[in-house]
Amino acid sequence: MFDIVSLDFAPFLLSFKLAAITTLILFVLSLPLAWYLSQTHSKAKPIIEAVTALPIVLPPSVLGFYILVVLSPNSAVGGFFEDLLGVKLVFSFTGLVVASCFYSLPFMVQPLQSGFESLNKHMLEASYLAGKSKLQTVLKVALPNIKPSLITALIITFAHTVGEFGVVLMVGGSIPGETKVASVAIYEMVEVMEYGTAHIYSAIMVLMSFMVLLAVYIFNHQQKKIGILR
Amino acid sequence: MIDIEIQKELHGSHGDMYLDVKLEIQKGEFIALMGESGSGKTTLLRILAGLERAKGNITVEDMIWLQSQKMLPPQQREIGFVFQDYALFDNMSVEENLLYVNDDKALAQELLVLTELTQLASRNVKGLSGGQKQRVSLCRAMMKKPKLLLMDEPFSALDPAMRTKLKDEILKLHKVFGTTTIMVSHDTEVSYHLADRIWVLDHGNLIADGSPEKILKKTSTVTYTLNL
């Protein structure tokens, strides 16, 4: 049988590191985008929304293929980063972060956008009339009033990044400690018929995913209850 | 003095109409803006606040708020606005709602005393009754010592007892601060008692402008109707 103590947890650590960095970057990038989409009446809105939602419906291999093409050293973007900045974007951790940001974008943008859209428009106007800028209004009024959406966006983005497989495999390959995340490690275990380790890895993933989702639902349930009691 | 000359096309529930008003307000005046729903009252208020675009000119004392298409953003207008639905910041306490507008603890304290809200200062606004919320909203609007106070049907969601209380408090604040005020209201009785002057809007046009005694006539001991 297998020995739990000698089990390699590096792929899990890598998955979490990737998810944490991706979530942080996406939060900063998605905040202005989600805010813009929630406030605009522009005709371009459905187009931007459709593009943002693409990663939900596209096969990860399609997304992975395009990201690979764009980030490869032979392309303008990949070449620029490698020649001028010395950063390798394919088969590297940095590349994984870039790919994950595309892959998980809708999971951050959509909850934030629907949260912002649900806010009372007059409350935001009251903040402008108080002399506050849009940024101050977003940080001090809008975000604190959409806590359930905010928590959902952060946790689902994190969880979704931990759970990605296809894009990661295509863009990152399976370099131990660099791009071999948990999902890829499980795939490899199955390939070499190490079912015991695959079982443990998979069980850990199921358990953690369940805990994360449970935490989100309990939090949102409590927020609703507080709302009703108040 | 405030000079207003506004034109705007409106696409309302009663079809298209043209809001076209030219008005002058003296400093410290209390105006009740009346008229049927859909006559453009709220839009006029929102244009004055800079929340909606319009053509025309608005000059407040020496400041230009609107000139042809150029408009001063709401942030720079020194306006106090009381919304019909209160629009309080739900994530803050009563006092924080006031201090968010202007970090002047003494003024916040004074306003809370005047409106008898001192005991609720540290309470989250979500737990307040409608009447209390509207009074907090009124205090919040006064925190900038605004040049113009705008109120959009502040009484509409309140029961008669709350209405009387809020009416007294609005009167009290108006006496203390002397703020130039425009209040949209359907309530003839409230308008009669609070306003120095009444405007009546109809399909975007001003059809009456005068003292409450001139515009409203007493139909019984307690009710008034438009005298047009």
CB A170 within 8 A of CB A68: yes
Chain A touched by B129 (CB under 8 Å) = no
Cα angle at A128 between A124 and A133, to 5 degrees? 105
What is the distance between the alpha carbons of residues A204 and A163, in angstroms, rounded to a whole number? 12
Chain A touched by B79 (CB under 8 Å) = yes
CB B33 within 8 A of CB B199: yes
Q: How many CB pairs under 8 A join A and B?
A: 59
Helix (H) or strand (E) holding A208: helix A195-229
Sign (positive or negative) of CA dihedral B92, B93, B96, B98 = positive
Q: Taking CB atoms and an 8 Å cutoff, what residues of chain B touch A125? A: 49, 51, 74, 81, 83, 87
Confidence of residue B219 (pLDDT cuts 50, 70, 90): low
Please list, in sequence order, all residues whose beta carbon lies within 8 angstroms of the beta carbon of residue A7, skipping any fewer than 6 positions away: A197, A200
Q: Given the structure tokens 């970090």, which residue do they identify?
A: B103
> Which ipTM was obtained for this model?
0.90
Chain A touched by B126 (CB under 8 Å) = yes
Closest CA to B138 of B199, B106, B181: B181
Domains and CATH numbers, chain B: 2-226 (3.40.50.300)
**Model confidence at A29: pLDDT above 90:** yes
Confidence of residue A230 (pLDDT cuts 50, 70, 90): very low
Tokens of B127: 């737990």
Q: Taking CB atoms and an 8 Å cutoff, what residues of chain B touch A126? A: 81, 83, 87-89, 140
Please state the rounded mean pLDDT for residues A82-104: 90
Number of other residues whose CB lies within 10 A of the CB of residue B138? 23
| pLDDT tens-place string over residues A144-178 | 999 989 999 999 999 999 989 999 999 998 888 88
The C-alpha of B4 sits at a distance from chain A's nearest C-alpha, in angstroms, of: 19
Residue B163, amino acid: R
What residues of chain A, 139 to 168, have a C-beta less than 8 Å from chain B?
140-141, 144-145
Closest CA to A67 of A25, A30, A36, A96: A96
Residue B223 pLDDT: 67
| pLDDT tens-place string over residues A171-228 | 998 888 889 999 999 999 999 999 999 999 999 999 988 988 898 888 888 887 776 5
CB A10 within 8 A of CB A179: no
Note whether B89 contacts A230, CB cutoff 8 Å.
no
**A9 class by beta-carbon count within 10 Å (0-12 exposed, 13-18 middle, 19+ buried):** exposed
Q: Which residue has the higher pLDDT, B220 or B49?
A: B49
Please state the rounded mean pLDDT for residues A131-141: 96
Q: Taking CB atoms and an 8 Å cutoff, what residues of chain B touch A135? A: none
**Model confidence at B173: pLDDT above 80:** yes
Residue B218 pLDDT: 65
Q: What is the mean pLDDT of chain B?
A: 90
Residue A3 pLDDT: 60
The DSSP string of A99-132 is HHHHHHHHHHHHHHHHHHHHS-HHHHHHHHHTT-
Q: Given the structure tokens 């007294």, which residue do they identify?
A: B168
Helix (H) or strand (E) holding A69: helix A60-71
Q: Taking CB atoms and an 8 Å cutoff, what residues of chain A touch B143? A: 130
Domain ranges for chain A: 10-181
Confidence of residue B138 (pLDDT cuts 50, 70, 90): very high
- Pick among B99, B100, B137, B144 to test the A interface (most A CBs inside 10 A): B100
Chain A touched by B91 (CB under 8 Å) = yes
Closest CA to A229 of B87, B124, B119: B124
| pLDDT tens-place string over residues A3-23 | 666 778 899 999 999 999 999
Chain A touched by B124 (CB under 8 Å) = yes
Residue B177 pLDDT: 92
| pLDDT tens-place string over residues B174-196 | 999 999 999 999 888 889 989 99
Superfamily of chain region A10-181:
MetI-like (1.10.3720.10)
Residue B201, amino acid: L
**Model confidence at B67: pLDDT above 60:** yes
What is the distance between the alpha carbons of residues A156 and A146, in angstroms, rounded to a whole number? 15
Q: Taking CB atoms and an 8 Å cutoff, what residues of chain A touch B75? A: 128-129, 131-133
Closest CA to B128 of B157, B162, B94: B94
Q: Which residue has the higher pLDDT, A138 or B61?
A: A138
The C-alpha of B74 sits at a distance from chain A's nearest C-alpha, in angstroms, of: 5
| pLDDT tens-place string over residues B87-114 | 999 999 999 999 999 999 999 999 999 9
Note whether B89 contacts A127, CB cutoff 8 Å.
yes
| pLDDT tens-place string over residues A67-79 | 999 998 888 888 8
Residue B217 pLDDT: 76
Chain B touched by A120 (CB under 8 Å) = yes
